[in-house]
Amino acid sequence: MRLWLRLRSSLGYSLHCNRYFTTTPKNHHIHLMLHIPHRKRSRLRLRLSQGLLRDARNQESRIRLPLTQAILNLDSFILILTMVVLTLPSSLPAVELTLLYWSDHHAQHLPERIEIEGKEVEVGGSAYLAGMVDELRAGSPRTLVLVAGDEFTGTPVSSITKGHSEIEVLNRIGISAMVPGNHEFDYGWKSLVKVMHDADFPVLLANVTLGDSGQGLFPSDTVFDLGGVKVGVVGVIYQNFGQAVVREGILGLKPSDQILAVKAFVAKRREACDLLVALTHVGWEGDSAMAEAVNGLDLIIGGHSHTRMVKPRLVHGVTIVQSGPDGLSLGRLTLDVDTTADRITDLRGDLITLRNDQIKPDAKVAALVKSLERKYTKDLNRRIGALETDWNLGRHSNLSQWAADAMLSGVREKISDRINMAVVNDGNFRKKLPRGAITERDIWEICPFENPVVTFQVSGEELIKVMHKLLRQPDEYMTWSGLRLEAVGDSIISLIVNGLEVDPYNEYAIATTGFVWEHLDQYLGIPQSDRLNIYWPNIMERDLLIEDVTSRKVVSTPFDDERWVVK
């Protein structure tokens, strides 16, 4: 004979009573089953007199009592146990977590002098970043340290080691996880995989696979257990990151939509985790779109757009943060997490400016940085010239004008004086420089990319089309040497090359970087196919810049505002 009783609380807990009898009196038992829903079961432990409660991770916890001990008080026992279940709290005390984060560090291991409140101070540097991480981690036992990409490229040591130096530093800091940014692919995906093999932390990337195989270049996500709190972290990069790297370096890879990848992660991990975090390298706008599109996500820690978010922003119920570039700030999020309801009950966030006069540096990281600099860059600190005018960054800046002029002068000297013009993309240059001494290191930091020079030929008709494209839809501002343009809106008034108006039926030779050549359709709107007289002279752009400064000794480059005039 069986008798079933099932009582369910409003919180989702349920009590099952199965009273059954067999022919042998000594085997008469009452089974009481307390069923705890999956998301709550790891939070509850009960102990009832002589009853046995199995590990709280089991789906069912049973209390088995001999009939002779329980049958007379069965009704009272069920009532008492039911009252216990019904009065369980809706949530246990919130657990505090700390998430530390940064992005777009660009291998800035040495401090930078900047002005704060009218005073010039040293800020940043990997030893001081590590020192602050050490201090905060010591005060919070449940801490994750997350890096949102673009650790590589920006200083000579990174370029020379192809990013391996950055992995050494991150290992010494002891980060928890990282997502690759577009600059991690600057030396090709095979080099990246090789370098990341030495990482002591998970590298996460959910939306890049090896062709159509479905095999990820790196693991998509991971779960951290912080004292019983499960934190799931997924890594994604913006789908069209190939437009920002040399295409040859990503041949064989298949990027996919980052939002779909995060949706799949949420579906996979939602039931098992208390907190879900997307570690992204897609930029602020992409992060906002992701927050709008993905239900069930808790946090987005982003990078790529170099957005310095002093306070967290809430979009569609998702908290978004980003630290800003160059290792000048460390982001900190302090969260109170309700592990029963799996939600954040309180959140405090800020950016910590890494002022060297207020932080104790990590001695081991400081020693490592010193060793790397001495090993790879000791000869780069030599003075090669003097600058009389500040070099600035921006649209058609005097820095990019000088670089285009130096390239044109260099290729005319080394290849042919029949090269008509040179063009560079303004995003190629990463550091402004005040007037004063110019060192070889400065040029490496201004131009950190391994960019070869290439020359090719276009017709005058194509060149006119290129100008119309740049006037109407500039994907990135291009700076020219040997060419002058005057326009009203997108109507060309004058287009001069070598002192003469462009003839649609003439042919013109252009020098540019390998990066622009790889993206010729994107930047200039013309195809690579059917190009005439393509030539790779085995000359690096950076070398031409160094040679120009060395030969001139004193460099004065006021901005030429008549080179590109649009009214």
Q: Is 237 helix (H, G, I), strand (E, B) or coil?
A: strand
Please state the φ and ψ torsions of residue 481, each to the nearest 5 degrees. -125, 140
Note the pLDDT of residue 533.
86
* Selection from 144, 170, 176 nearest residue 158 by Cα: 170
The tens digit of pLDDT for each residue in 42-64 reads 333 333 333 333 333 333 334 44
SS (H, E, C) 117-183: CCEEEEECCHHHHHHHHHHHHHCCCCEEEEECCCCCCCCHHHHHHCCHHHHHHHHHHCCCEECCCHH
Torsion angle, CA of 359/364/366/372, rounded to 10 degrees?
-160
Please give the domain boundaries of the chain with CATH numbers for all domains: 2-86 (no CATH), 95-375 (3.60.21.10), 382-566 (3.90.780.10)
The tens digit of pLDDT for each residue in 180-231 reads 999 999 999 999 999 999 999 999 999 999 988 889 999 999 999 999 999 9
Q: What is the DSSP letter of 211?
A: T
> pLDDT by residue for the chain (567 residues), tens digit each?
333 344 443 334 444 444 333 333 344 444 444 444 444 333 333 333 333 333 333 333 344 444 444 444 545 555 555 555 445 454 457 899 999 999 999 999 999 998 888 899 999 999 999 999 999 999 999 999 999 999 999 999 999 999 999 999 999 999 999 999 999 999 999 999 999 999 999 999 999 999 888 899 999 999 999 999 999 999 999 999 998 888 888 999 999 999 999 999 999 999 999 999 999 999 999 999 999 999 999 999 999 999 999 999 999 999 999 999 999 999 999 999 988 888 899 999 999 999 999 999 999 999 999 999 999 998 899 999 999 999 999 878 999 999 999 999 999 999 999 999 999 999 889 999 999 999 999 999 999 998 999 999 999 999 999 999 999 887 678 999 999 999 998 899 999 998 999 999 999 999 999 999 999 999 999 998 878 789 999 999 999 999 999 999 999 999 998 999 998
Q: What is the DSSP letter of 260?
A: H
- Taken in order 335, 338, 342, 343, the sign of the CA dihedral is negative
* Selection from 240, 209, 225 nearest residue 57 by Cα: 225
pTM of structure:
0.79
SS (H, E, C) 459-520: EHHHHHHHHHHHHHCCCCCEEEECEEEEEECCEEEEEEECCEECCCCCEEEEEEEHHHHHCH
Whole-number Cα distances in Å, 258 to 146, 207, 262, 279, 505: 18, 6, 6, 11, 46
Strands 483-488 and 491-497: antiparallel
- At 233, which helix (H) or strand (E)? strand 229-237
